[in-house]
Structure 1
Amino acid sequence: MFVLELTYTAPLDRIDAALPEHRAWVDAHFATGAFLASGPKQPRDGGIILALGEDRTKIEEMVASDPFTVAGVADYTITEFVATRTAPTLEEHRRQPPS
């Protein structure tokens, strides 16, 4: 599982101009089951996406296709983690800790 943290690198007017395409990109990944949750940070200086995946390279490719990345208005920090404890609704994504 991955935490994708976006940090805006441009003024909010440029973020807002790219927002409809970014939201369509996010929606497409929710439709495939790749994303579990997403939303803006508070204060509004970026966002967070909780993503499923086993392959960091594929996640990096996904992030590179985000309209925010393409427009050069946000940078990503990608953090991979093993979800060893979850709420019941996320139980299917729970994993054993690496040995």
Structure 2
Amino acid sequence: MFVVSLTYIAPLSDVDALLAAHVEWLKQAYADGLFVASGRKVPRDGGVILARGERAALEARLAQDPFAKGGVARYDIIEFVPSMAAPGLEGLKEA
């Protein structure tokens, strides 16, 4: 599993111009089963994505993000193996 931290590297006006396309990109990644959760950081200087699957597939998907293509965000990927989860989220644990 992966935690992806997005950090905006452009003014919010540039980010906002790409936001609708970014949301559509997110929706497709959820539909494909790659993303588990996502949202804005507080304060709003980026976002976080919880993803599953293979790192190469994640990196390829991130490269297609309108934020990446528009040069408005940097991505840091942290891989981890979830061994514990809250009730109702046991499906996140790896065998």
After TM superposition, the runs of 4+ consecutive aligned structure 1 residues lying more than 3 A away are none
What TM-score, normalized by structure 1, do the two folds share? 0.91
Q: How many residues align?
A: 95
Q: Where does 1:48-67 land on structure 2 (aligned, <5 Å)?
A: 48-53=48-53, 55-67=54-66
Which consecutive unaligned segments of at least 5 residues does structure 2 have? none
Q: Matched residues in 1 for 2:6 and 2:60: separation?
A: 15
User: Does 81-90 or 41-50 show the bigger shift?
Assistant: 81-90
Q: Over aligned residues, Cα RMSD in angstroms? A: 1.0
The CA distance in 2 between the partners of 1:46 and 1:86, in whole Å, is 25
The aligned residue for residue 5 of structure 2 is 5
In structure 1, list runs of 5 or more residues that go unmatched. Answer: none
Deviations 1:26-51 (A, max 9, x none): 01111122111100000000000000
